[in-house]
Each structure stands twice: as structure tokens, then as C-alpha cells.
Amino acid sequence: MNRRTLIFFAAKDPGVDPGPAWSAYHFAEVATRAGLAAEVRLAGDAVLVAKPDRVAATAQGDQLRAKAAAGRGGPFLVSL
């Protein structure tokens, strides 16, 4: 049986708009809970998620910081 990985990609600066990175982390969490392999790929300014102080100070930004922290060493791969 071939296993495939669902890849969720974000490239937008999370300091400007945390939405795309939030969505990538959210869907990777959902996929892994469903037993599927998942990966979050961050490119361009989205890599700033790795610096929590560079994420927008909004409710969605707060959720993104929590999702990124939970993703470190978590059930899905995060690549920068």
C-alpha cells in the first residue's frame, strides 16, 4: 500500500495576515487526527511563524502561535 502525505503550504507573512499559515497548521492537525500523514510547508515570509513575536497580535495570530508550538515535534512534519 502506498502512503501519501497531504501537504499544506503557506507563504504569506504571518505578521500581516496569519490566515494562510493558520489554515495550513489547522488542516495538518485535522489530517493527522484522521490517521493521514501531513506536512506543513512554510515558504517566503511564512517562515516567520518560527519567531512567535513576528506573528500578528490578533486572535487568529494567538491561535497560530499555539498551533505552531504544538506542531514542534508533533505528529506532522513542518518544513521551512
Supply the pLDDT for residue 2: 74
State the total domains in the chain.
1
Residue 56, domain extent: 5-79
Phi, psi (deg, nearest 5) at residue 8: -115, 120
Q: State the chain's mean pLDDT as an integer.
A: 93
Residue with grid cell 500581516, as numbered in its chain: 16
* pLDDT tops 90 at residue 9: yes
What are the residues whose beta carbons fall under 8 Å from the beta carbon of 1, sequence distance 6 or more?
A: none
Q: Tell me: the pLDDT tens digits for 22-61? A: 999 999 999 999 999 999 999 999 999 999 899 999 999 9
**Which pLDDT band, with edges at 50, 70 and 90, does 1 fall under?**
low
Global confidence as pTM:
0.92
DSSP string, 6-41: EEEEE-S-TTT--HHHHHHHHHHHHHHHTT-EEEEE
Q: CA-to-CA distance for 27 and 37, rounded, in angstroms?
A: 11
